[in-house]
């Protein structure tokens, strides 16, 4: 134990003295996160699959149409696929998780609005998805705000509109022109239309578990886990490579002239890989928290997920080093292995966007389980129960690969196996 601690603290001290390689590897996820974040805006929208939103229009009036057509314009149309449904069908689809959200326009919505009565929009969200429903909600809220503001501005011409609508014909250009003229004058007078909103809306999640969702969606939280995994795997790799480096520089041979045994050396190297990777991941998450404003979720799931991820990184790398005999071989093999694992695990392109086949393949990459768990915690604020599969995969894979790697390494790192510095 004493030997292991001495070896471990020596490894960590040396890494602190020459931290450049690790720092560079930590910059990769930070830079990726920053760039993607800046491109899409802080709480903006990432390029996502089209969000399927069901529209249950019980009103069948003008404002329902307005809301619907508003959502199908320009950029919004690229994001949102609006599907008009009947109530029964809509509810069933939501229950089966076939859509991200359902917007319900209540009966009499148009008339009530025209009468300046309080109206309510209902948004039902799919609980198994995190940000897609959030975007749908954002959009509806914006549309409602426009509608609401419009009602204030058009307060004068409302009578006109009503008569037009009740005539059963759509407003013509002339009608609108007249209304707008009147509205312009009023606009100058009405500046308080934001307050005391006429349209309120209620958000529901399909499941019983009602919880208040944070309205803001942090795009960094969505990007950081994937890019962080690339960095962490490379950092584990750098830490474990030190073993081969010690073999080359002669310190490993020298260790064998002391009372230390091979198993001390291997154990300490695995531990130092774990510690260095852990330190880097904590720093990355803290930068995520305070630099990018990512909410870190609840402590228990976060810590368990973090430890599992570090175990997995340490294990996968240790396992490969069980076979790699030179730093050159490590260079050639490991960067490819890491990149492939990350690619299929969804580090570069979010796995949700890669289609069903890729999604299935991705499950074979341990990186998928790490990223997925972090997203559940950071983006969706999920609890322990929801990340159990992730934890099982990460811990069992981590422990198995660490043990296998340790056995493979111990066979090579032993007295008599190293031919000195010749």
Partner 1 sequence: MIEVKDIRKSFGDVQALKGIGFTVREGEIYGFLGPNGAGKTTAISIISGLLLPDSGSVTIAGMDIRKEGRKIRNILGVIPQEIALYEELTARENLHFWGGLYGLSGRELHDASTQVLEMVGLSERADDPVSQYSGGMKRRINLCIGLIHRPQIILLDEPTLGIDPQARINILGIIKSEVSQGKTVIYTTHYLEEAENLCERIAIIDDGEIKAEGTLGELTQLVGEKDLVTINGTFTSDQARNFLEGVAVDHLEDNMVRVLVSESSAISRLLERFFTAGVSVGEVSIKEPSLESVFIKLTGRELRD
Ligand X SMILES: Nc1ncnc2c1ncn2[C@@H]1O[C@H](COP(=O)(O)OP(=O)(O)O)[C@@H](O)[C@H]1O
Interacting partner of 335 out of ligand X, partner 1, none (Cβ under 5 to 8 A depending on kind): none
Q: Is 258 in the site for ligand X (CB under 6 A)?
A: no
Instruction: At 382, list the tokens.
Output: 């999920």
Nearest one of 214, 225, 216, 215 to 36, comparing CA atoms: 225
**Residue 150: how many other CB atoms lie within 10 Å:** 15
Distance of CA 388 to the CA centre of its chain: 18
Interacting partner of 191 out of partner 1, ligand X, none (Cβ under 5 to 8 A depending on kind): none
**Residue 142: how many other CB atoms lie within 10 Å:** 13
Q: 364-397 burial, b for 16+ CB within 10 Å, e for fewer?
A: ebbbbbbbbbbbbbbbbbbeeeebeebbebbbeb
**Residue 84: how many other CB atoms lie within 10 Å:** 12
Q: Is 17 in the site for partner 1 (CB under 8 A)?
A: yes
Q: Whole-number minimum distance, CB 419 to ligand X, in Å? A: 3
What track of x and - describes contact with partner 1 for positions 247 through 266 (by CB under 8 A)? --xxx-xxxxxxxxx-----
Find the binding residues for partner 1 in span 259-298 (CB under 8 A). 259-261
Choice between 14 and 325, CB closer to partner 1:
14
Q: Whole-number minimum distance, CB 420 to ligand X, in Å? A: 7
What contacts 306, CB < 8 A, 6 or more positions away? 278, 281, 282, 285
Which part of the chain contacts partner 1 (CB under 8 A), choosing from 90-98, 226-234, 288-296, 410-418?
410-418
Choice between 172 and 421, CB closer to partner 1:
421
Give the single-character DSSP code of 56: E
Choice between 257 and 419, CB closer to ligand X:
419
Q: Is 88 in the site for ligand X (CB under 6 A)?
A: no
What track of x and - describes contact with ligand X for positions 393 through 422 (by CB under 6 A)? --------------------------x--x
Interacting partner of 207 out of partner 1, ligand X, none (Cβ under 5 to 8 A depending on kind): none
Choice between 223 and 265, CB closer to partner 1:
265
Q: In whole angstroms, give the CA distance from residue 23 to residue 16.
A: 10
Distance of CA 210 to the CA centre of its chain: 22
Residues of this chain that interact with ligand X (CB under 6 A) are 419, 422
Residues of this chain that interact with partner 1 (CB under 8 A) are 3, 6, 10, 13-14, 17-18, 249-251, 253-261, 415-416, 418-422
């Amino acid at each position: 134990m004493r030997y292991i601690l001495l070896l471990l603290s020596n490894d960590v001290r040396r890494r602190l003295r020459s931290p450049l390689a690790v720092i560079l590897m930590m910059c990769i996820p930070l830079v990726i996160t920053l760039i993607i974040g800046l491109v899409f805006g802080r709480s903006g929208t990432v390029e996502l699959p089209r969000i399927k939103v069901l529209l249950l229009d019980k009103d069948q009036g003008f404002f329902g149409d307005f809301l619907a057509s508003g959502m199908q314009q320009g950029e919004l149309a690229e994001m949102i696929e609006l599907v008009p449904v009947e109530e029964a069908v809509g509810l069933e689809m939501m229950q089966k998780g076939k859509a991200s959200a359902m917007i319900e326009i209540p009966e009499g919505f148009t008339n009530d609005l025209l009468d300046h009565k309080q109206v309510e929009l209902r948004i039902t969200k799919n609980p198994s998805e995190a940000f897609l429903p959030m975007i749908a909600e954002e959009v509806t809220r914006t549309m409602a705000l426009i509608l609401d503001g419009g009602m204030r501005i058009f307060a004068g011409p409302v009578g006109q509109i009503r008569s037009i609508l009740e005539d059963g014909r759509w407003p013509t250009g002339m009608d609108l022109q007249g209304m707008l003229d009147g509205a312009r004058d009023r606009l100058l007078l009405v500046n308080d239309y934001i307050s005391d909103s006429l349209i309120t809306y209620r958000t529901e999640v399909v499941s019983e578990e009602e919880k208040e969702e944070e309205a803001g969606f942090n795009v960094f939280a969505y990007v950081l886990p994937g890019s962080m995994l690339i960095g962490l795997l490379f950092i584990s790799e750098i830490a474990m490579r030190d073993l081969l480096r010690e073999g080359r520089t002669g310190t490993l041979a020298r260790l064998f002239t002391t009372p230390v045994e091979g198993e001390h050396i291997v154990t300490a190297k695995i531990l130092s890989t774990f510690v260095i990777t852990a330190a880097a991941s904590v720093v990355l998450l803290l930068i995520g928290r305070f630099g990018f404003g990512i909410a870190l979720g609840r402590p228990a799931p976060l810590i368990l997920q973090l430890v599992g991820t570090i175990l997995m990184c340490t294990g996968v790398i240790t396992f490969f080093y069980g076979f790699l005999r030179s730093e050159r071989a490590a260079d050639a093999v490991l960067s490819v292995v890491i990149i492939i694992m990350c690619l299929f695990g969804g580090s570069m392109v979010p796995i949700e966007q890669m289609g069903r086949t890729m999604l299935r393949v991705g499950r074979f990459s341990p990186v998928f389980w790490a990223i997925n768990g972090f997203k559940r915690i950071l983006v969706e604020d999920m609890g322990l129960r929801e990340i159990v599969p992730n934890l099982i995969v990460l811990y069992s894979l981590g422990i198995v690969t660490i043990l296998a790697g340790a056995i493979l390494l111990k066979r090579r790192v032993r007295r008599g196996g190293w031919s000195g510095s010749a």
